[in-house]
């Protein structure tokens, strides 16, 4: 909501503040000022001048030499190329050293352009006559300005006075951010009321009186509101003997400053009242209204209607229409119809000031694809009691401007009259909520400045209907706090029972995941929770793969963001691809983010949100690097049992020979592998990439941060190395299973120290060597202890077709 | 005999001094003190000495031996020190050659900011609570005083799965969920991902993060809210930070406020960073609306509370001067490495 300082001052005459003071104080009292613009910021030293004499320039056909009276007694000489100057005209003149805002092409120069005296083709020129564009304005807002050339003042302008003032540019426009609960502040009057309260000045709203010209409005128009649920109030007044013409300069200026283009007196009045009272109005040519009757009803489904912008629009049956005896003449609260609009030969006019259901207007505007200033106001939900004030104000302006004769009376269809809300007042509880000690009298004073009156008899505050946000004591507390000043409220810390700060166990596990990933060189990424359904094909998933059962967003930002992810892989691969594309080397990323698995589709209850710890990398490192990260993580969260890796993971998107499910305590807790080359191609990753996905909900139950010291071994260990030739198909995991199961209670550890395939080893076999360590906690092991364990191990290995090498 | 020993000693010392290295030193030792050494052979020749002379000669031999050993030891120590010195000299490295690093990974700026915030509030006795990202309309809106038809529910901002289920537009539904559990007093923060239907650009993302805070107890005041958030701002942005509370509107709090902090770049003087105002908006807050308490089963006559919501990206962007929000979701390692 933009408002000029001069318009606010019209209702707060004693206001005397700078733009910055206004900004600061209003922001602290709740009407946030986002910024302001002084209209004359880039204008300086510009006066009203009068052209006394025009002569041809001796050396230039397109230039003339003017003698200009600037009120100093001594005329100055100005050379101009403007085509429209004539002797006797009053014009804006920027004097030597002054500033204009821009060029006459309308292009603004921040900080303005300095004008200096000089010679034009050898003839001295001591200033410049200005076009409206050079003054930083446009013909849109100053329609009287000529298309090309110098702005011409009316004769009433006083030579020598400030041209900035004469044009009303000695003003500041504030941009306010109005919160949605303060519908009343989407109007100059509303903001002025807040301004008066903020600066403790008197608020003087317009005094509205309509003289009238006799007659009876009921003889001119009948109104029938069929769908009162969408139209709680409809006010209509009639103006006859219309005299269309331009509105006065003061009205044009106020509208212009608020960014509204002046058109004619009637249109300008409706716009003026919309700004002033926040109540949109509409003017119909009464002679186009068939049967001189208005019917407010819902549209028929598919009803077609041409709005006054000339567009044909299709309605549905929830859009409210204004109709006459035969046809629709307007879309309620959004835009009038071409068929009833005011034209130059209008004689009698119908003013409409109605109150429509805000939600319906908002949805209708969206449905028919037409959002207007009017619908923007209506959709906030207007006060029906404001409609009458506004229509009377419009009629008053018609009379003041001599734009027509107002017929006596108003047609008013008002169902369910809105009454003021009464809120029980309790100063102690307000203080208890705010943590203040403000006296009751002080509170009542604050409330009174914004017309929240105290009823002593009932101990209630009466909230006028325009304050639809005041409903309970907390609302009164806010009003008190605003005017007491939020800064004046003390600062304390909550007292009462102490509580322990806690990070839940799951988040502690996630924190370790981050630490480990980072120690291992992975940086944390974040990707979107929604993606394209096309990713399933990109990942080569089977048509029947349950991962395809994704939750769909009903109003996505396009197909690429239309489903909730059921795998974290696409985000990771997209990020790796992004890095690959940027030629980043040795990239390692991890992400902690949810996937969303529906329990059933379509969704009837909330889905299972599963936190995935996803790792991805390309460049240095291989499958076993990734495996190492997984095991470091498990180790750090107290999962010390041996992980099992099942190569039959069945992941189509991974290399068929380089993938595994990670099994812990018999449960699949994740998978890892090398990316399938076809998938790598699809993502345009030109290097071998490795991923691991750990399903944290499956892992967290195994995690523990309990630790127990088990002592440091006192007795010596005995180490035995074994070397064997074994079929290639036998996995190291199977050998280790044998060592683990047969090693007995003295088995402490084992590790693979050599693996070899190729020459010297027969076809289809590999050579594998392990070092096995035995130790007892309570004695030095004897040969017999170790050799019996070794015998069992060797026997077990023979069943895997291992040939022991000596 | 005496002369003989004297000669052996002088000869030995001469040889020791002439020795060039440890092994020639050892040769000297063997040649003189070894089993077949000169001195040893003197001892062996004792049988030719008169018995009464023997103790005296023995003593002389031992003295000579000790003297030679001493000189030998000194020479050895000296030589070893010399050798070590030479070795150290030969082992000089270029300490300015590049370090061999472990290439530790980097945390996402959002997470760094989140951990800061969590640390501050956990220290003040707050529990961290999580809530679902796909949420019932009931919790995201209705229980927060945002009824059907409210502009905040507008489809333009909210991603809907269906009429009842939405992608949460804020972390505030966690307030309702925690209050409903009815365990009082409540001091919690709830960080998490939220969604709004905004096209991706430098300042918007359809998915971002918020941190919700909620305190409910008897006698909680607006002054407590101010004090808590002032403390928070000082911890997060530095002890010098000032806060400014401006009236605002949120459906689920009343009174409500927006909080600005004094610009931590210019200290409030006004700079490009704070657009000349000296202040930077960081969060929204207010006293929990009595209707919300009531809808969540808490007696508003007995209990009051405050709530606040911080945009995590906003904090991260501000703290680390990141000028484009898209960077946070591209995961370019050249970006991530800077944190």
Per-residue pLDDT of B139-164, as tens digits, reads 999 999 998 888 777 666 899 999 99
Q: Is B103 buried (19+), middle (13-18) or exposed (0-12) by CB count in 10 A?
A: middle
List pLDDT tens digits, range A95-144.
999 999 998 888 888 889 999 999 999 999 999 999 999 999 888 888 88
SS3 of residue A200 by DSSP: coil
Residue in A521, A590, A609 nearest the CB of B104: A521
Cα(B151)–Cα(A681) distance, rounded to whole angstroms? 46
Inter-chain touch B105–A517, beta carbons under 8 Å:
yes
Q: Which residues of A touch B294 (CB under 8 A)?
A: none
How many angstroms separate the CA of residue B125 from the nearest CA in chain A? 4
**Interchain contact, B206 vs A557, CB within 8 Å:** yes
Task: Tell me if B244 and A482 make a contact (CB, 8 A cut-off).
Answer: no
Strand A667-675 to A654-664 pairing: antiparallel
What is this structure's pTM? Answer: 0.87
Contact flag A494-B215 (C-beta cutoff 8 Å)? yes
**Residue in B206, B254, B275, B301 to test binding to A, most A beta-carbons within 10 Å:** B254
Candidates B102, B105, B256, partner chain A, best to mutate (most A CBs within 10 A): B105
The closest CB to that of B218, out of A496, A525, A587, belongs to A496
Handedness of CA A430, A434, A437, A443 (dihedral sign): negative
Contact B45, B60 (CB under 8 A): no
CB distance B130–A504 less than 8 Å?
yes
The 3-class secondary structure across chain B, one letter per residue, is CHHHHHHHHHHHHHHHHHCCCHHHHHHHHHHHHCCCCHHHHHHHHHHHCCCCCHHHHHHHHHHHHHHHHHHHHHHHHHHHHHHHHHHHHHCCCCCCCCCCCCCCCCCCHHHHHHHHHHHHHHHCCCEECCCCCEEEHHHHCHHHCCCCCCHHHCCCCCCECCCCEEECCCCCHHHHHHHHHCCCCEEEEEEEEEECCCCCCCCCCCEEEEEEEEEEECCCCHHHHHHHHHHHHHHHHCCCCCEEEEEEEECCEEEEEEEEEECCCCCCCCCCCCCCCCEEEEEEEEEECHHHHHHCCCCCCCCEEEEEEEEHHHHHHHHHCCCCCCHHHHCCHHHHCCC
| CA–CA dist A761, A738 (Å, integer) | 23
**Vertex A725, ends A723 and A731: CA angle to 5°?**
95
Indicate the residue of B103, B122, B197 with minimum beta-carbon distance to A555: B197
Q: Which residues of chain A have a CB within 8 Å of the CB of B161? A: 551-554, 564, 603
Q: What is the mean pLDDT of residues A487-511?
A: 93
Query: What is the pLDDT averaged over residues A158-185?
Result: 93
Q: Tell me what the mean pLDDT of segment A669-693 comes to.
A: 97
Query: How much of chain B exceeds pLDDT 90, in percent?
Result: 67
B-interface mutation test, from A229, A376, A484, A494, most B Cβ less than 10 A away: A494
Digit-coded pLDDT (tens) for A694-723:
999 999 999 999 999 988 889 999 999 999
Cis peptide preceding A602, ω within 30 of 0: yes
Asked if residues A764 and A728 have their Cβ atoms less than 8 Å apart, the reply is yes
Q: Is the pLDDT of residue B1 over 80?
A: no
Q: What value, to the nearest 5°, has the Cα angle with vertex A681 and ends A676 and A682?
A: 100
Record: contact A519-B104, CB cut-off 8 A: yes
Across the interface, whether the CB atoms of B257 and A527 are under 8 A apart is answered: no
User: What is the distance in angstroms between the Cα of A671 and the nearest Cα belonging to chain B?
Assistant: 22
Q: How confident is the model at residue A754 (pLDDT cuts 50, 70, 90)?
A: very high
CB of A278 closer than 8 Å to CB of A270 = no
Q: Do A555 and B162 touch (CB under 8 A)?
A: no
Q: Give the residue among B238, B196, B230, B194 at the shortest CA–CA distance from B306.
A: B230
Kindly list the residues from chain B whose CB atom is less than 8 angstroms away from the CB atom of residue A526.
108, 110, 328-329, 331
Chain segment A14-57, per-residue pLDDT in tens? 999 999 999 999 999 999 999 999 999 999 999 999 999 999 99
Contact B133 A594 (CB under 8 A): yes
- Nearest 5°: CA angle at B197, between A364 and A555? 65
Which residues from A are below 8 Å from B246, CB to CB?
A: 27-28, 30, 32, 486
Considering only CB atoms, A491 lies closest to which of B104, B155, B230, namely B230
Residue B155 is predicted with a pLDDT of 61
Element (H, E) at A319: none
3-state secondary structure of A33: strand
**B226 vs A contacts (CB less than 8 Å):** 486, 489-492
Count A/B contacts: CB-CB distance under 8 Å: 250
Q: What's the distance, Cα to Cα, between the start and end of chain B in Å?
A: 85
pLDDT the model gives residue A602: 92
**Measured between CB atoms, which of A182, A491, A602 is closest to B162?**
A602
Residues A180-204 pLDDT 10s: 899 999 999 999 999 999 999 999 9
Residue A304 has pLDDT above 70, yes or no: yes
- Residue A518 to residue B107, Cβ atoms within 8 A: yes
Which of these, A657, A804, A643, A648, lies nearest to A736 by C-alpha position?
A643
Give dist(CA B171, CA B312) in Å, integer. Answer: 11
Do the Cβ atoms of B105 and A432 come within 8 Å?
no
Partner-chain contact A606 B206, CB within 8 Å: no
Confidence of residue B43 (pLDDT cuts 50, 70, 90): confident
For residue B5, pLDDT over 80 is answered with yes
Yes or no, beta carbons of B149 and A29 under 8 Å apart: no
A806 — pLDDT class (breaks 50, 70, 90):
low
- What is the tens place of the pLDDT at every residue in A465-480? 999 999 999 999 999 9
Mutation target vs B (from A471, A523, A565; most B CBs, 10 A cutoff):
A523
Beta bridge partners of A502: B127
Mean pLDDT of chain A: 94
Task: Determine, for residues B331 and A527 on separate chains, whether the beta-carbon distance falls below 8 Å.
Answer: yes
Q: For the residues B159-181, what does the mean pLDDT come to?
A: 96
**Looking up tokens 């080893």, which residue turns up?**
A761
Distance between A231 CA and the closest CA of chain B, angstroms:
16
Å between A509 CA and nearest CA of chain B: 14
Instruction: Of A459, A467, A457, give the one whose Cα is nearest residue A443.
Output: A459
Interatomic CA distance for residues A767 and A268, integer angstroms:
96
Separate counts of helices (H) and strands (E) for chain A: 20, 39
Q: What is the pLDDT of residue B57?
A: 82
- How far apart CA A593 and CA B26 sit, in angstroms, is 72
Question: Which residue of B199, B248, B287 is in closest CB contact with A474?
Answer: B287
Write out pLDDT tens, residues A445-469.
Answer: 999 999 999 999 999 999 999 999 9
Distance of residue A432 Cα from the nearest chain B Cα, in angstroms: 7
CB contact under 8 A, A501 and B337: no
Q: What is the Cα–Cα distance from A584 to A69, expressed in whole angstroms?
A: 72
Nearest CB neighbour to A494, from listed B224, B254, B291: B224
Q: ipTM exceeding 0.90? A: no
Task: Flag if B224 and A609 touch (Cβ within 8 Å).
Answer: no
- CA nearest to A361 within chain B: B149
Contact B332 A487 (CB under 8 A): no
Asked whether the beta carbons of residue A523 and residue B254 sit closer than 8 angstroms, the reply is: no
Query: What is the pLDDT confidence band of residue B318, given thresholds at 50, 70 and 90?
Result: confident
Scanning every residue of chain B, which has its alpha carbon at the shortest distance from the alpha carbon of A587? B333
- Strand, helix or coil for residue A762: coil
CB contacts of A481 in chain B (<8 Å) are 222, 247, 255
Q: What is the DSSP-derived secondary structure letter of residue A176?
A: E
């Amino acid at each position: 909501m933009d408002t000029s300082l001069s318009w606010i001052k019209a209702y707060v005459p004693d206001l005397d503040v700078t733009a910055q003071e206004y900004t600061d104080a209003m922001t602290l009292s709740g009407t946030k000022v986002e910024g302001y613009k002084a209209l004359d910021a880039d204008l300086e030293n510009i006066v009203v001048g009068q052209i006394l004499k025009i002569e041809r320039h001796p050396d230039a056909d397109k230039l003339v030499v003017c003698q200009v009276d600037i009120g100093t007694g001594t005329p100055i000489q100005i050379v101009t190329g403007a085509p429209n100057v004539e002797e006797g005209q009053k014009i804006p003149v920027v004097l030597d050293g002054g500033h204009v805002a821009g060029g006459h092409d309308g292009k603004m120069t921040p900080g303005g352009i300095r004008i200096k005296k000089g010679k034009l083709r050898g003839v001295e020129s001591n200033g410049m006559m200005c076009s409206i564009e050079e003054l930083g304005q446009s013909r849109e807002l100053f329609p009287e300005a000529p298309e090309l050339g110098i702005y011409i003042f009316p004769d009433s302008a006083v030579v020598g006075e400030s041209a900035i003032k004469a044009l009303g540019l000695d003003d500041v426009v504030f941009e306010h951010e109005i919160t949605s609960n303060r519908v009343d502040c989407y109007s100059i009057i509303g903001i002025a009321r807040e301004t008066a309260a903020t600066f403790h000045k008197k608020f003087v709203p317009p005094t509205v009186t309509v003289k009238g010209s006799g007659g009876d409005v009921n003889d001119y128009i009948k109104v029938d509101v069929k769908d009162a649920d969408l139209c709680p109030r409809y006010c209509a007044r009639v103006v006859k003997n219309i005299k269309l013409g331009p509105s006065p300069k003061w009205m044009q200026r106020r509208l212009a400053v608020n960014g509204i283009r002046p058109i004619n007196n009637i249109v300008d009045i409706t716009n003026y009242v919309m700004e002033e009272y926040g109540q949109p109005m509409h003017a119909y040519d009464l002679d186009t209204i068939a049967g001189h009757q208005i019917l407010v009803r819902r549209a028929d489904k598919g009803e077609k209607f041409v709005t006054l912008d000339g567009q044909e629009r299709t309605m549905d049956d929830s859009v409210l229409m204004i109709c006459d005896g035969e046809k629709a003449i307007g879309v309620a609260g959004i835009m009038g119809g071409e068929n009833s609009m005011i034209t130059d030969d209008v004689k009698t006019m119908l003013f409409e000031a109605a109150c429509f259901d805000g939600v319906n207007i908002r949805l209708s505007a969206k449905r028919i694809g037409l959002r207007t200033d009017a619908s923007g106001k209506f959709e906030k939900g207007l006060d029906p009691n404001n409609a009458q004030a506004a229509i009377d104000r419009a009629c008053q302006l018609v009379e003041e401007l001599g734009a027509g004769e107002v017929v006596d009376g108003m047609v008013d269809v008002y169902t369910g009259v809105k009454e003021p809300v009464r809120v029980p007042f309790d100063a102690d509880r307000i203080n208890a909520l705010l943590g203040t000690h403000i006296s009751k009298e002080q509170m009542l004073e604050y409330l009174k400045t914004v017309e929240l009156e105290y009823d002593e008899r009932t101990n209630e505050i009466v909230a006028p209907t325009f304050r639809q946000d005041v409903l309970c004591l907390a609302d009164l507390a806010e009003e008190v706090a605003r005017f007491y000043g939020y800064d004046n409220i003390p600062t304390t810390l909550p007292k009462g029972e102490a509580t322990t700060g806690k990070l839940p166990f799951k988040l502690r596990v996630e924190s370790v995941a981050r630490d480990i990933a980072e120690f291992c060189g992975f940086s944390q990424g974040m990707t979107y929770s929604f993606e394209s359904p096309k990713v399933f094909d990109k990942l080569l998933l089977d048509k029947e793969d349950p991962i395809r059962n994704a939750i769909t967003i009903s109003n996505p930002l396009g197909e690429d963001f239309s489903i909730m992810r059921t795998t974290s892989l696409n985000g990771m691969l997209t990020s790796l691809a992004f890095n690959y594309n940027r030629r980043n080397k040795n990239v390692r990323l991890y992400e902690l983010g949810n996937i969303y698995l529906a329990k059933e589709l379509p969704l009837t209850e909330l889905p299972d949100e599963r936190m995935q710890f996803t790792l991805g990398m390309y460049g240095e490192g291989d499958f076993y690097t990734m495996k190492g990260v997984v095991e470091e993580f498990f180790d750090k969260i107290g999962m010390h049992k041996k992980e099992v890796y099942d190569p039959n993971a069945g992941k189509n998107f991974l290399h068929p020979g380089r993938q595994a499910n990670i099994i812990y305590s018999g449960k699949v807790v994740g998978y890892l592998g090398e990316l399938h080359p076809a998938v790598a191609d699809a993502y345009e990753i030109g290097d071998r990439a490795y991923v691991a996905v750990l399903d944290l909900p499956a892992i967290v139950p195994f995690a523990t941060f309990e630790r127990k010291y088990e002592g440091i071994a006192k007795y010596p260990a005995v180490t035995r190395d074994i070397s064997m030739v074994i079929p290639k198909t036998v996995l190291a995991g199977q050998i280790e299973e044998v060592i683990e199961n047969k090693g007995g209670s003295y088995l402490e550890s084992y590790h693979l120290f050599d693996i070899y395939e190729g020459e010297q080893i027969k076809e289809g076999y590999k050579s594998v060597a392990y070092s096995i360590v035995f130790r007892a906690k309570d004695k030095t092991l004897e040969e017999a202890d170790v050799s019996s364990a070794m015998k069992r191990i060797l026997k077990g290995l023979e069943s895997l077709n291992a040939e022991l090498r000596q | 005999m005496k002369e003989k020993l004297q000669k052996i000693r002088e000869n030995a010392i001469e040889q020791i001094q002439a020795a060039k290295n440890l092994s020639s030193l050892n040769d000297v030792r063997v040649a003189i003190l070894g089993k077949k050494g000169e001195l040893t052979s003197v001892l062996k020749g004792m049988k030719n000495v008169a018995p009464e002379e023997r103790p005296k000669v023995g003593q002389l031999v031992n003295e000579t031996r000790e003297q030679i050993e001493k000189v030998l030891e000194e020479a050895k120590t000296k030589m070893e020190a010399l050798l070590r010195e030479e070795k150290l000299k030969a082992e000089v490295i270029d300490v300015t050659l590049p370090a061999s690093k472990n290439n530790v990974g980097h945390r996402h700026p959002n997470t760094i900011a989140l951990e800061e915030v969590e640390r501050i509030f956990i220290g003040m006795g707050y529990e961290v609570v999580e809530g679902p990202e796909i949420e019932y309309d009931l919790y995201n809106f209705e229980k927060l005083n945002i009824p059907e038809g409210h502009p905040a529910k507008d489809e333009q901002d909210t991603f809907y799965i269906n009429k009842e289920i939405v992608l949460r537009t804020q972390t505030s539904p966690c307030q309702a969920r925690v209050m409903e559990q009815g365990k009082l007093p409540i001091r919690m923060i709830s960080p998490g991902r939220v969604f709004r239907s905004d096209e991706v650009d430098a300042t918007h993302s359809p998915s971002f993060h918020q941190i919700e805070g909620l305190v409910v107890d008897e006698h909680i005041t607006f002054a407590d809210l101010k004090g808590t958030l002032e403390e928070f701002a000082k911890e997060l942005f530095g002890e010098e930070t000032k806060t400014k509370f401006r009236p605002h509107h949120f459906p689920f709090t009343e009174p409500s406020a927006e909080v600005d902090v004094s610009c931590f770049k210019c200290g409030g003087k006004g700079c490009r960073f704070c657009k000349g105002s000296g202040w930077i908006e960081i969060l929204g807050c207010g006293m929990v609306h009595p209707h919300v308490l009531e809808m969540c089963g808490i007696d508003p006559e007995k209990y009051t509370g405050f709530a606040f919501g911080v945009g995590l990206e906003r904090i991260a962007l501000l703290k680390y001067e990141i000028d484009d929000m898209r960077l946070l979701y591209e995961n370019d390692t050249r970006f991530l490495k800077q944190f």
